């Protein structure tokens, strides 16, 4: 049964407006919750990295911990041209002496190994053990991306 009474339509319109407002409030609440959760997950990833690479802290292996946060930071630095992508001339490995890692930005303390790379342009960058691995992996995956032709078809397999 359909009502054509304008006061009913106004009531429906008021109800829809109230529902929309309540959904907007809930959406804002969920967005805030999501932002807080993302922030917390980034903190946890960094905490795991700090436990391994932080200065003077006993290394603790955290089950399921990933370097995702550090990978993001290093990939971002590479794509913005802040980290070298060419082959280094020399590599020095030794105990850290408190200088900042060019990858994660944390200090490389004496309890960690520092990898120092000299490049043909005279640039020197230093990384933690872990960050060297992340940097190398990022370079390899970038090189693979560049080798992959943008037009498809290279993976065509003859089929009958
Ligand atoms: Zn580092």
| Contact of 77 with 138, CB cutoff 8 Å | no
| Ligand 1: centre distance to CA 106 (Å) | 6
| Ligand 1: centre distance to CA 105 (Å) | 6
| Ligand 1: centre distance to CA 116 (Å) | 12
Q: How far apart are CA 140 and CA 146, in angstroms?
A: 10
| Ligand 1: centre distance to CA 2 (Å) | 68
Global pTM reads 0.58
Residue 71 is predicted with a pLDDT of 85
| Ligand 1: centre distance to CA 74 (Å) | 9
Which DSSP string do the residues of 11-67 spell out, in sequence order? HHHHHHHHHHHHHHHHHHHHHHHHHHHHHHHHHHHHHHHHHHHSTT----PPTT---
pLDDT 10s per residue in the chain (160 long)?
Answer: 555 677 889 999 999 999 999 999 999 999 999 888 887 877 787 777 877 777 654 444 444 445 567 888 898 899 999 999 988 999 999 999 999 999 988 889 898 999 999 999 999 999 999 999 999 998 888 788 877 765 444 454 554 5
Residue 12 is predicted with a pLDDT of 93
């Amino acid at each position: 049964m359909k009502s054509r009474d304008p006061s009913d339509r106004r009531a429906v319109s008021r109800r829809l407006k109230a529902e929309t407002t309540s959904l907007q409030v809930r959406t804002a609440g969920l967005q805030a919750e999501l932002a807080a959760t993302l922030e917390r997950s980034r903190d946890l990833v960094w905490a795991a990295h700090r436990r391994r690479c932080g200065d003077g802290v006993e290394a603790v292996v955290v089950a399921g911990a990933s370097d995702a946060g550090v990978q993001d930071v290093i990939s971002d630095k590479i794509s913005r041209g802040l980290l070298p992508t060419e082959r280094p001339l020399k590599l020095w490995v030794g105990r850290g002496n408190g200088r900042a890692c060019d990858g994660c930005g944390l200090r490389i303390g004496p309890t960690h190994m520092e990898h120092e790379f000299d490049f043909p342009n005279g640039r020197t960058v230093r990384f933690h053990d872990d960050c060297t691995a992340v940097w190398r992996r990022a370079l390899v995956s970038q090189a693979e991306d560049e080798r992959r032709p943008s037009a498809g078809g290279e993976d065509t397999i003859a089929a009958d």
